[in-house]
């Protein structure tokens, strides 16, 4: 696991975006695994800017997103499909049919999970998977629990995630209680993983992920067993991990 720190959030996003841009340039048919949340927004802004400047072409790119809230339609402005359309897909030349986000309103959620795994197997492997990290160490919506979930599955969101995500909703009671998420096993199949973390609230969990025990209580800790993970952190999020590395 490699750590790249940046002085500011903007610089961190530029550095991470450069890796994604290089991937798309070198392999126009790349499969990108994408994340939502506040941290990747600056990365998507960078990619959109490069596209607008004529430096990037998304016409052959395929994307697969990590997760979606259960109960939200694609038109709901809190759904992850809506987020991705707003921040990236509507702003670049990616064909919509090449963009995949789990359905938030499946007839049968278990069947949706099975079909999403099938889709991933058909379009994959993912060349680069972009991840954020929750305050409790979740990646995707893989919450701390007794095991590392292997496949795409239905998740009951933890109270800490509901509270953390309530900042995007009018009230915490509106945060959906369930989601569909790729499993940790699904994420680990990506050829390369970029994890981004910003702000002092992430400093301890970045440290725990990199140096604490590998345990399903810190789902991101399993990434230490992946051969190609780069953690991008701004100064605040990287402070404890950087101090440990320079001892
Ligand atoms: C979102 C996702 C989540 C977020 C995590 C961090 O698709 O998979 O794991 O990456 O909750 O969110 P932010 O970036 O808002 O702190």
In tens, the pLDDT along 164-201 reads: 899 989 888 999 999 999 999 999 999 999 999 999 99
* Separation of alpha carbons 245 and 247, rounded Å: 6
Q: Is 32 in the pocket of ligand 1 (CB under 6 A)?
A: no
Looking at the whole model, is its pTM more than 0.75? yes
Q: For residue 11, what are its two tokens? A: 């610089």
Catalytic residue positions, numbered: 67, 136, 138, 143
Residues 11-24 pLDDT 10s = 999 999 999 999 99
Among 44, 72, 80, 134, which is best to mutate for testing ligand 1, by the most ligand atoms less than 8 A from CB?
134
Q: How far apart are the CA of 124 and the centre of ligand 1, in A?
A: 22
Q: Is 37 in the pocket of ligand 1 (CB under 6 A)?
A: yes
Q: How far apart are the CA of 139 and the centre of ligand 1, in A?
A: 7
Please report the atom of ligand 1 found closest to the CA of residue 139. 9
Q: In what order do the strands lie in the sheet with 2-6?
A: 2-6, 229-234, 192-197, 128-131, 31-34, 62-65, 99-100
Q: What percent of the chain has pLDDT over 90?
A: 95
Residue nearest to atom 10 of ligand 1 (CA): 132
Distances (CA, A) of 149 to 87, 183, 243: 29, 5, 31
Q: What pLDDT is attached to residue 247?
A: 83
Is 190 in contact with 126 (CB distance < 8 Å)? yes
């Amino acid at each position: 696991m490699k750590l790249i720190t940046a002085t500011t959030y903007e610089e961190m996003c530029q550095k991470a975006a450069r890796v994604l841009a290089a991937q798309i340039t070198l392999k126009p048919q790349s499969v990108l695994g994408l994340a939502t949340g506040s941290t990747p927004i600056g990365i998507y802004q960078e990619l959109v800017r490069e596209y607008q400047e004529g430096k990037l072409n998304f016409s052959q790119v395929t994307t697969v997103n990590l997760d979606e809230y259960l109960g939200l339609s694609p038109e709901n402005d809190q759904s992850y499909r809506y987020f991705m359309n707003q921040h990236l897909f509507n702003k670049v030349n990616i064909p919509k049919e090449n963009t995949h986000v789990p359905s938030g309103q499946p007839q049968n959620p278990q069947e949706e999970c099975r079909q999403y795994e099938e889709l991933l197997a058909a379009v994959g492997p993912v060349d680069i998977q972009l991840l954020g990290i929750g305050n409790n160490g979740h990646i995707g919506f893989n919450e701390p629990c007794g095991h590392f979930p292997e496949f795409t599955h239905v998740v009951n969101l933890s109270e800490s995630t509901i509270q953390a995500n309530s900042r995007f909703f009018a009230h915490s009671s509106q945060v959906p209680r369930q989601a569909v998420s790729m499993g940790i096993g699904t994420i680990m199949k990506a050829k390369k993983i970029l994890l981004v973390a910003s702000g002092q609230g992430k400093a301890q969990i970045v440290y725990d992920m990199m140096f604490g025990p590998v345990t399903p209580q810190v789902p991101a800790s399993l990434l230490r067993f992946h051969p190609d993970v780069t953690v991008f952190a701004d100064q605040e999020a990287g402070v404890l991990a950087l101090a440990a590395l320079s001892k």
